[in-house]
Amino acid sequence: MEQKTQLFNGQNLDNWLPRTGCDHAWEAVASIGLRDGETTRLFAQPGSGILYNGLAGVTSDIYTAGEFGDCRLHVEFCVPKDSNSGVYFLGRYEVQILDSFGKAELSFGTCGGIYARWIDGEHYEGSPPRVNVSLPPGEWQTYDISFRAPRFSIDGTKTEKARFIEWSGMARSCSRMWKLEGRPVRRCSKTKKPRDP
């Protein structure tokens, strides 16, 4: 039987931790949106229900206090113009969140892309979404992502790579089955194990 976990309680960041040694501006608010003439920042109304990254729109990463492995994740997000973010699995593997509305050329950096690995300062592989399903800045969007964590033997040797089984945006399939190779570009976690934030 599947166990459902609500990662954000709507009230505070009790189940979240900041990146080590970093301050952050994340907070719970009642609503967010764009203001006339200002498309590059989201403004918020005080209250609860929505996780907001602050008026500046740029802050440190946060990650779950709990550790997770195989999962299906539902994400709801709203971004301003030119925004850039992402959702990490095991603190290592990223699905891109980016203002990609109207972009015809797709890459691993497009909203819905699996971010590329990094070797000697160069990006390799990664996967663009099959289609660009991005909505205009200021509109709410969704991801539904099925992730399979890597498998390890009893002695800690990796026997199977992590993979994204399927992910969709706005209920439209973006891609299927992507094996994750190599070292990610950025990591919240430096460990290699089947469960992590």
Write the pLDDT tens digit of every residue in 80-136.
Answer: 999 999 999 998 889 999 999 999 999 999 999 988 877 788 877 788 888 899 999
Last residue within a domain, chosen from 48, 65, 82:
65
Same domain (yes/no): 73, 53: no
Residue 33 predicted with pLDDT over 90: yes
Same domain (yes/no): 74, 17: no
Amino acid (1-letter code) at residue 17:
L
Same domain (yes/no): 129, 187: yes
pLDDT digits (tens, 9 = 90+) for 17-28: 988 778 889 999
Mean pLDDT of the chain: 85
The confidence score (pLDDT) of residue 127 equals 86
Residue 39 predicted with pLDDT over 70: yes
How is residue 192 annotated by DSSP?
Answer: -
Spatial distance between the Cα atoms of 172 and 142, rounded to a whole number of angstroms: 10
**Is residue 1 included in any domain, yes or no?**
no
Last residue within a domain, chosen from 19, 37, 65:
65
Same domain (yes/no): 34, 11: yes
Residue 169 predicted with pLDDT over 80: no
Instruction: Give the residue among 14, 12, 18 at the shortest CA–CA distance from 60.
Output: 18
Spatial distance between the Cα atoms of 106 and 98, rounded to a whole number of angstroms: 12
Give the residue numbers spanning the domain of 179.
67-197
